[in-house]
Amino acid sequence: MDKFDFLHLVSSIGIFMVLLLALFLITVKTKHRLSNWLLAFFLFTNAVDAFKFLQREFPVNHINLEAFRWSIVYLVPASFYLYVLSVCYTNFRLKPKHILHVIPFLAYNLYLAWGIYFVDRDSKIEFINGIYEMPITQFFYFLFEFLFQIYFIASFLVIRKSKTVYLENYANPNISNLNALYKITILYYAIHFIVLIRWLVTFIFGPGEIRAWIVTLDGFAFLFCTCWYLFTALNNPEFFRGVNSNLKPITETVPKQKASPVIDDEKNRQIEFLKKFMIEKEPYLDSSLTIQDLAEQVNMPVKDLSTLINLYMDKHFFDFVNEYRIEKAKEILKNPLQKELTILEILYEVGFNSKSSFSTSFKKHTGKTPTDFRKSSF
């Protein structure tokens, strides 16, 4: 097996795996269908682009098809950005305005139509031989790079905002999911630099052995990142839980205030009432408690309650609620009459819905694991 055959085999396996994953996402039955389809489309566009790994030489018998493949890359960053939106926001839907994301793809195809699609074979070859010297080609390369940076920076901002909204409005947000999405965004962003190196090597040295190995590294990296991400998602049933896009971070919904807002008598009364309500009524035992639910129970506008907790008490809603859950868990763990209860039973009883989240929060508040705390109590 020569070097090209090895690269061809590796690339074929990678493309097959990515397409198989895309097919699975399209066909699997789930309530998160839009997210799955957008991720599948992102994978598909990358697989189409990756067919270049299989080419020993330019496909002169399929010039139009090859040229169209070039244009697919203009859909890659936009599809990933839309996927991020669909994961972070439960009420995200594709709308007519999202067609704007297709404009660069259409513009590049218009350019190819003028030089390749609708001309004779000799004109096609002449156009391709000089394509790298054309200013408009350089413009489209820079346009792709610009769009890539914009879309991925926007993805980072959406994830960060979504995480903030989670902490301020939900009692059991699965931040590990957003962290996984954040990591895969970083990884895909890093992979892009391999693409930049490949372009640089191609322009300086032309297509050759160095470029071939960079192409293989690119393919391996993309396949590894995609498989890791999907493995994470498939092992977490709540992976695609998002927030409502109408919710805003507290800093966007209230006037800018000092770092330590002055707490007057009225705020003190509200804080004491809220603490008393949490102790007596124990709303935190509801694992699906949100700030909207609590606002209804204490008969307070959501905006005012959010301001009270996040600004005046200087806590995320997530931490505020979990403090009461941990105190309840401590009571149970110290109670000799309930020593038969398992840690799993206790965490569900006090309002948590995952062992990892309970263990992390418990150790954050007590400095010990639930098991160690129970042992030290007797």
Beta bridge partners of 243: 89
Domain ranges of the chain: 3-234, 250-376
Q: pLDDT by residue (tens digit) across 226-236?
A: 677 666 666 65
Question: Of 53, 28, 8, 32, nearest to 222 (Cα)?
Answer: 53
- CA 119 vs. chain centroid, Å, equals 42
Q: Helix crossing, 76-88 with 175-205: angle to 10°?
A: 170
**3-234 and 250-376, same CATH topology:** no
Q: Which amino acid is at 345?
A: E
Q: What's the pTM value of the predicted model, to 2 decimals?
A: 0.73
353 or 324, which is more confident?
324
257 or 352, which is more confident?
352
- Round to whole Å and give the CA distance between 375 and 378: 6
238 or 341, which is more confident?
341
31 or 83, which is more confident?
83
- Could you tell me the CA-to-CA distances from 166 to 12, 49, 177, 317 in Å, in that order? 41, 36, 11, 9
The runs of H, that is alpha helices, within 72-174 are 76-88, 103-112, 121-129, 135-169
Question: Of 272, 373, 274, 362, nearest to 322 (Cα)?
Answer: 362
What number does CATH give the domain 250-376?
A: 1.10.10.60
| pLDDT over threshold 70, residue 127 | yes
Helix (H, G, I), strand (E, B) or coil at 31: coil
- Round to whole Å and give the CA distance between 119 and 69: 18
147 or 206, which is more confident?
147
- Round to whole Å and give the CA distance between 290 and 364: 21
Fold (CATH) for 3-234: Rhopdopsin 7-helix transmembrane proteins (1.20.1070)
N-terminal to C-terminal alpha carbon distance within the chain: 68
213 or 294, which is more confident?
294
Burial of 25 (0-12, 13-18, 19+ CB in 10 A): buried
- Round to whole Å and give the CA distance between 291 and 308: 11
Q: With left for phi above 0 and alpha for psi between -120 and 50, is residue 311 left, alpha or beta?
A: alpha
Q: pLDDT by residue (tens digit) across 18-38?
A: 888 888 888 877 666 888 899
Whole-number pLDDT of residue 7? 65
Whole-number pLDDT of residue 150? 94
Phi, psi of 38 (to 5 degrees): -65, -40
Whole-number pLDDT of residue 327? 93
Task: Determine which of 45-59, 229-243, 324-338, 360-374 has the lowest per-residue pLDDT on average.
Answer: 229-243
